[in-house]
Amino acid sequence: MSGGRLWDCASWRRRVQCLITMIKNSRIPLSVVLGVTLLVGGCAGTEQDGTAAPASSASTAADNTAEICASGGKAARDVVLNLFSSMADVAEEKDPEAALTKVYNETFTKLADQMRTEAGRASDPAFAAILTGIADESAKVAANPEAADTSGFQESLTGLDKYCPREGAPSAAPGDAANGGVVDGVVGAAGSGCELPVTFKVTEKWKPKAVDIAADDPLADLVKKGNLRLICEIDGKPAGHVGFLRVWTGPASAPKAALKPLVSEGKTRKVKYSTVTAGGFEGVEVAFEQYQKLLEEWLPNRAMAVRTGDGVVVLDLGGLDAAEHKAMLPTFELAKTSMAAK
């Protein structure tokens, strides 16, 4: 389920799923996207205090790029979060489809107006062009949400990275050690951003990134489940899948007990445990279905936990829907069978 259209869907539930697809196709960092779903992530953080990271070398000390990044740049990157934060209210409306259309129209109209204002006062002409591009694409979505193609809007946001670098964003290329990528063919290797107590392989093109949310961040609760903390997410989007393989760690405990926060969250059914051995560690795997109230569907999940000398490690695979989950299972199996102690 991919592509840019917001409304390649025949029902309210599918339209919400399309929004989630847009979120996963966006290049918005995890500190923003985590506020959107409990089944999503991306990775490097945006500024938690509302300030922008220093302007890049592309701008000079005399210009107002950093100031605009703190206002307009942040607004553009936060737009999907703002959309999804409206979903609960929209779902209660008598005509949720009409309500959702209104939300899109108002949200993107406001963003387009703000981007044009910011572009008009930007002292760097190249940066002004980026902002104008975002404004134009936002206006397209606002004008006709039911037929809008969001791929142009998503692509327009990438221009911000040159002028509004995210705080702590690595300068290295995606997929290398500094970005938490695959190192020496595996995830979790020493020196990578996703350094783990274990290593394992992932399917080609899956992209790992570290999750680093401060304990006092408003979104901190979204990276915790019981004693577990989310430390790495491996994105299937580059490989054509809408979903993530997540890595959680926690204090030493029995593997089955470590899985409880995942299995006991919300309504679950068809829970089936099995023992596994991975990387020389004894562990437990669980398959179950979890009810997603917003989508009114039961979605499959798979997770496994092993106890290492540095505590418990949990791998967790979800997915946008049952078809995506099934398509991503080979990556989960590869991670399990290739797991090794460090």
First to last CA, the chain: 37
> What is the rounded distance in angstroms from the CA atom of residue 124 to the CA atom of residue 312?
50
C-alpha 8 chain-centroid distance: 21
Instruction: List all residues 6 or more positions away from 34 whose beta carbon is below 8 Å from its beta carbon.
Output: 40, 41, 213, 219, 222, 223
- Residue 212 has what pLDDT? 79
Q: Which of the pair, 226 or 97, is modelled with greater confidence?
A: 226
Per-residue pLDDT at 120 exceeds 80: yes
Per-residue pLDDT at 247 exceeds 60: yes
154-177 mean pLDDT: 62
pLDDT grade for 22, boundaries at 50, 70 and 90: very low
> What is the rounded distance in angstroms from the CA atom of residue 334 to the CA atom of residue 88?
36
Cβ atoms 108, 141 nearer than 8 A = yes
> What is the rounded distance in angstroms from the CA atom of residue 78 to the CA atom of residue 72?
10
Per-residue pLDDT at 92 exceeds 50: yes
DSSP 8-state class, residue 3? S
pLDDT grade for 171, boundaries at 50, 70 and 90: very low
> What is the rounded distance in angstroms from the CA atom of residue 115 to the CA atom of residue 104?
16
Per-residue pLDDT at 200 exceeds 60: yes
Per-residue pLDDT at 169 exceeds 80: no
Q: Which of the pair, 48 or 260, is modelled with greater confidence?
A: 260
CA atoms within 13 A on the CB side of 291: 8
194-222 mean pLDDT: 82
Cβ atoms 142, 108 nearer than 8 A = yes
Per-residue pLDDT at 134 exceeds 50: yes
Q: Which of the pair, 154 or 209, is modelled with greater confidence?
A: 209
pLDDT grade for 338, boundaries at 50, 70 and 90: very high
Using alpha carbons, list the distances in angstroms from residue 64 to 71, 107, 132, 179, 225: 11, 25, 16, 29, 41
Report the percentage of the chain scoring pLDDT > 70.
Answer: 69
- Residue 38 has what pLDDT? 28
pLDDT grade for 158, boundaries at 50, 70 and 90: confident
Structure tokens at 301: 């999940």
> What is the rounded distance in angstroms from the CA atom of residue 104 to the CA atom of residue 107?
5
Per-residue pLDDT at 270 exceeds 60: yes
Tell me the torsion sign for CA atoms 217, 221, 227, 228: negative
Using alpha carbons, list the distances in angstroms from residue 274 to 181, 223, 255, 259, 320: 30, 26, 11, 12, 24
> What is the rounded distance in angstroms from the CA atom of residue 85 to the CA atom of residue 168?
26
- Residue 116 has what pLDDT? 94
Q: Letter for the amino acid at 173?
A: A
- Residue 8 has what pLDDT? 36
Task: Work out the mean pLDDT of the chain and round it to a whole number.
Answer: 75
- Residue 21 has what pLDDT? 46
What ranges in the chain are assigned the alpha helix state H? Answer: 12-25, 30-33, 65-68, 74-85, 87-91, 96-121, 125-143, 151-157, 160-163, 255-263, 322-338
Highest mean pLDDT among 35-49, 147-161, 324-338: 324-338
Instruction: Map out the domains of the chain with their CATH numbers.
Output: 12-163 (no CATH), 177-341 (3.40.1000.10)
- Residue 331 has what pLDDT? 94
Per-residue pLDDT at 176 exceeds 70: no
Per-residue pLDDT at 117 exceeds 60: yes
Instruction: List all residues 6 or more positions away from 184 whose beta carbon is below 8 Å from its beta carbon.
Output: none
- Residue 76 has what pLDDT? 81
Residue of 204, 203, 179, 202 lying closest to 191 (CA atoms): 179
**pLDDT, tens digit, 9 for 90 and up, residues 272-297:** 999 999 988 999 999 999 887 666 78
Structure tokens at 266: 């919300």
Using alpha carbons, list the distances in angstroms from residue 178 to 14, 174, 229, 230: 37, 8, 21, 18
**pLDDT, tens digit, 9 for 90 and up, residues 37-59:** 222 332 233 333 333 444 443 43
